[in-house]
Amino acid sequence: MGIVDEMVGASPAICAVFDLVRKMATTEMPVLITGETGTGKELTAQAIHERSLRKHGPFVPINCGAIPETLLESELFGHERGAFTGAVQQKKGKLEAAGGGTVFLDEVGDLLPTLQVKLLRFLQEGTFERVGGQETLHVDARVLAATNVDLKTAISKNLFREDLYYRLGVLHIHLPPLRNRGEDPLLMATIFLKQAAVTYRKQIRGYTPQAIDALRTYSWPGNVRELSNRVRRAVVMAEGMEITPQDLDLAVEDLQTVDSLNSLRAAHRRIEMELLVKAISLHRGNLTRMARDLEVSRSTLYRKLRAYGLEKFMPAATPLSFRSKTKFNKSKQSLPQEHGRGISPEPIPDLPLKPAHEIPQSV
Ligand SMILES: Nc1ncnc2c1ncn2[C@@H]1O[C@H](COP(=O)(O)OP(=O)(O)OP(=O)(O)O)[C@@H](O)[C@H]1O
Ligand SMILES: [Mg+2]
């Protein structure tokens, strides 16, 4: 079973999602997860699985949009020997592979009408036949599905069955785009930077003020995936101790114009947040030293950290959002694994913020 990456976020929009995941994980019903590209639909599906009673069973993803139509039925439901040219032996499909666990149907809007019927029957009765098979199989797999197309529009164009939509979407989670998640881009950028700095063994302290502005004002059309890729790239490209907008490849003209007259409060928040992030980094989360440096009391400082959702990034923090127990239990000393790449065990001295997987979490 794969390790679920942690979901990072402190904005009200993403905290509402965490709440839904918590509640929906404990049921057996299908969940439909929607959201723009890169918003974390698959990660959310994994988080639901990891928090469900099925967590010891398999999590089996299948991308319905990436598999040629002719192969999809067999991929999903399996086939019998001789079912079609090239079917030299019986093959189990992803549904069977997900027995006792969860199947994640990504891009479910791309399913052809015939497969929609077959899926609907599986959702209603838990049964299906392999391609070319007579035997009716019963499989105990929970279905989670995702789409970034609007299924209601697909229904109106007769491309998606309404009955299937209602079956799949009784429980629905919509992931907000990153641009609507308040200060989350900055929080994520801080965490991703720490992880990437460890991975690529670079001594990078943080972001320049201009880079922080860029991170906060860019509209993130590719959402979290884009943010994560840009930060990783920046860490590789950076020549100095701080990441610049150029390292992030965020040209000034890409940035949204910052609002003007009503932005005094916003500017205040931005500066406070920036200082807090810097102070955590500089003083390795030592509250007393941070308070002294920022010339506020410890209690004021703590209140501010909470207000910005930053208290989770303090080393001895109280829990925040999601983490995979599997990952957490692996080793508190272990450093993040990035898709099979080994990671240097050396800590980065100037960046006390914990890598995402080490931040104590609870949902
Ligand atoms: N809240 C989050 N915290 C940390 N990482 C995240 C978060 N959301 C998404 N990611 C990361 O962003 C990347 C994209 O996430 P994911 O693949 O789940 O998105 P998606 O919505 O399925 O994208 P697509 O529509 O392109 O399939 C992954 O590397 C994932 O680990
Ligand atoms: Mg996806």
168-190 pLDDT, tens digit each: 999 999 999 999 998 899 889 98
In which band, very low, low, confident or very high, does the pLDDT at 258 lie, cut at 50, 70 and 90? very low
Long-range contacts of range 286-290, CB-CB < 8 Å, 24 or more positions apart?
Answer: 287/314
Q: Is the CB of 39 within 6 Å of ligand 1?
A: yes
Q: Is the CB of 184 within 6 Å of ligand 1?
A: no
Predicted pLDDT of residue 199: 93
Predicted pLDDT of residue 210: 87
Predicted pLDDT of residue 251: 67
Q: Is the CB of 208 within 6 Å of ligand 1?
A: no
Which domains does the chain carry? 12-176 (3.40.50.300), 180-358 (1.10.8.60)
| Gap between the Cα atoms of 108 and 75, Å rounded | 14
Predicted pLDDT of residue 165: 96
Determine the distance separating the centroid of ligand 2 and the alpha carbon of 313, expressed in angstroms: 27
| Gap between the Cα atoms of 126 and 77, Å rounded | 12
Full DSSP string of 263-317? GHHHHHHHHHHHHHHHHHHHTTT-HHHHHHHHTS-HHHHHHHHHHTT-GGGSTTP
pTM: 0.76
- Ligand 1: residue of 3, 4, 5 to mutate (most ligand atoms within 8 A of CB) is 5
Average the pLDDT over each of 98-112, 120-134, 213-227, 273-287 and give the range with the smallest value. Answer: 273-287
Per the rule left: phi > 0, alpha: psi between -120 and 50, beta: everything else, 223 is left
Predicted pLDDT of residue 315: 61
| Gap between the Cα atoms of 129 and 138, Å rounded | 9
User: Residue 125: which H helix or E strand, with range?
Assistant: helix 113-125
Rounded alpha-carbon distances, angstroms, from residue 328 to 51, 60, 325, 356: 13, 22, 5, 10
Residue 322: is its pLDDT beyond 60?
no
Predicted pLDDT of residue 347: 30
Residue 5: is its pLDDT beyond 60?
no
Determine the distance separating the centroid of ligand 1 and the alpha carbon of 264, expressed in angstroms: 33
Residue nearest to atom 29 of ligand 1 (CA): 225
List all residues 6 or more positions away from 252 whose beta carbon is below 8 Å from its beta carbon. 214, 245
List all residues 6 or more positions away from 166 whose beta carbon is below 8 Å from its beta carbon. none
